[in-house]
C-alpha cells in the first residue's frame, strides 16, 4: 500500500521523476499540494460543445470535438503523406488537424464520429484554422488501435471533464492523470474552519471540496466545492488585510 501523500509530498515520489520534472518546469508544480490546488479552469461535458469559432490564432487550446472526416494527400515539398482530420463542435466551428508522415494507424483511430479532446496551438492556413500535430485523447468505447488512448479515457470517466491550465508539453489529460494518482493516497490538510463555522455557512469540508473540484460527481457537488474554495480565498484576503492593519498600528 502506498504511503499517504500530504500537501508537502514531492511530486516525484507520486508521479515519477520525468513527469514531475515536466510539471515543475512548465507549470511550477512541485508538491502534491501544488497540484491539488491547481484547479481546472473549466469543465466540458460530452453533450456540451466547445465553441471552436471563438478560438484565437496563436492560442494554446484544448477543445472537445467530434471527428467529421479524414483525408490523406501527398506533401508537395517533400516525400510522404499528410493526414488531414476535420473536427467540429456541433456549432458550426471546425478545425483541421494535420499529421505528417505515415499515419495509417492514426487514420484508423481518428474515424468519423469519434469524440475527443484535442490540444495544440491554433494556426491558420489558407483561411482555415488548424492544429499541427496536436496531442489528443479519444473518448468513448475503444476499438482497433485505441488501447493507449483508452488508458487516458479513464481520466474522463465522469460526465464533467476537467480542463486544466496546461502547457504544450503537459496537456490537460496528463495533469488529470497525475491528479488522480495523488488523490488516491492524498490526506487533505486539517480543515482551518471549525465545524460550527462550516455548519452555519453551509460549507463542505476542505477534503471533500478538493476532491470534488477535480473529479466532480455532479454539478451540485461541484458548485458546493467551488463555493467552499472561494470562501477560503476570500477569507485569506480578509485575514491578510487584518494582519497588515495590525502591523501598521504597531509602527
HEC-encoded secondary structure of the chain: CCCCECCCCECHHHHCHHHHHHHHHHHCCCEHHHHHCCCCCEEEECCCCCCHHHCCCCCEEEEEEEEEEEEEEECCCCCCEEEEEEEECCCCCEEEEEEECCCHHHHHHCCCCCEEEEEEEEEEECCEEEEECCEEEEECCCCCCCHHHHHHHHHHCCCEEEECCCECCECHHHHHHHHHHHHHHECCCCCCCCHHHHHHCCCCCHHHHHHHHHCCCCHHHHHHHHHHHHHHHHHHHHHHHHHHHHHHHHC
Kindly report the backbone phi and psi dihedral angles of residue 175, in degrees, each rounded to the nearest multiple of 5, phi listed first. -65, -45
Q: Stretch 236-247: mean pLDDT, rounded? A: 77
Q: Stretch 125-148: mean pLDDT, rounded? A: 70
Q: Give yes or no for residue 159 having a pLDDT over 70.
A: no
Contact 116, 150 (CB under 8 A): no
Kindly report the backbone phi and psi dihedral angles of residue 172, in degrees, each rounded to the nearest multiple of 5, phi listed first. -60, -35
Q: Which has more confidence, 47 or 191?
A: 191
Give every CB contact of residue 139 below 8 A, 6+ residues apart in sequence: 46, 114, 115, 116, 117, 153, 156
Q: Give yes or no for residue 43 having a pLDDT over 90.
A: no
- Among 46-60, 124-138, 146-160, the least confident range: 146-160
Structure confidence by residue, pLDDT tens digits, 64-120: 888 999 988 887 767 778 889 999 987 788 899 998 877 788 888 898 988 888 888
Share of the chain above pLDDT 70, in %: 87
Look at residue 48 in the predicted model and tell me its pLDDT. 55
Q: Stretch 29-46: mean pLDDT, rounded? A: 90
Contact 61, 119 (CB under 8 A): yes
What sign does the CA torsion over 111, 114, 115, 117 have?
negative
Look at residue 251 in the predicted model and tell me its pLDDT. 66
- The span from the CA of 207 to the CA of 200, in Å, is 18
pTM comes to: 0.66
Q: HSE on the CB side for 88, CA within 13 Å? A: 10
Contact 63, 166 (CB under 8 A): no
Cell numbers that stand for 113 in this block: 464520429
Amino acid at each position: 500500500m502506498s504511503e499517504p501523500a500530504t500537501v508537502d509530498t514531492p511530486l516525484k515520489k507520486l508521479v515519477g521523476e520525468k513527469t514531475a520534472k515536466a510539471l515543475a518546469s512548465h507549470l511550477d508544480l512541485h508538491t502534491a499540494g501544488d497540484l491539488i490546488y491547481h484547479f481546472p479552469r473549466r469543465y466540458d461535458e460530452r453533450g456540451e460543445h466547445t465553441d471552436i469559432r471563438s478560438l484565437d490564432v496563436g492560442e494554446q487550446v484544448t477543445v472537445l470535438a467530434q471527428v467529421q472526416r479524414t483525408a490523406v494527400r501527398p506533401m508537395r515539398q517533400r516525400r510522404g503523406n499528410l493526414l488531414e482530420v476535420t473536427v467540429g463542435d456541433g456549432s458550426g466551428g471546425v478545425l483541421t488537424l494535420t499529421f505528417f508522415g505515415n499515419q495509417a494507424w492514426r487514420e484508423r483511430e481518428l474515424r468519423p464520429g469519434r469524440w475527443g479532446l484535442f490540444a495544440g496551438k491554433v494556426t491558420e492556413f489558407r483561411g482555415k484554422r488548424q492544429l499541427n500535430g496536436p496531442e489528443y485523447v479519444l473518448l468513448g468505447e475503444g476499438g482497433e488501435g485505441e488501447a493507449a488512448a483508452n488508458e487516458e479515457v479513464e481520466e474522463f470517466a465522469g460526465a464533467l471533464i476537467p480542463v486544466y491550465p496546461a502547457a504544450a508539453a503537459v496537456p490537460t489529460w496528463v495533469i488529470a492523470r497525475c491528479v488522480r494518482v495523488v488523490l488516491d493516497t492524498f490526506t487533505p490538510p486539517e480543515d482551518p474552519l471549525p465545524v460550527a463555522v462550516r455548519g452555519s455557512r453551509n460549507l463542505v469540508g476542505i477534503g471533500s471540496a478538493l476532491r470534488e473540484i477535480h473529479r466532480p460527481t455532479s454539478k451540485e457537488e461541484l458548485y458546493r466545492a467551488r463555493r467552499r474554495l472561494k470562501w477560503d480565498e476570500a477569507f485569506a484576503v480578509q485575514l491578510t488585510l487584518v494582519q497588515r492593519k495590525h502591523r501598521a498600528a504597531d509602527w
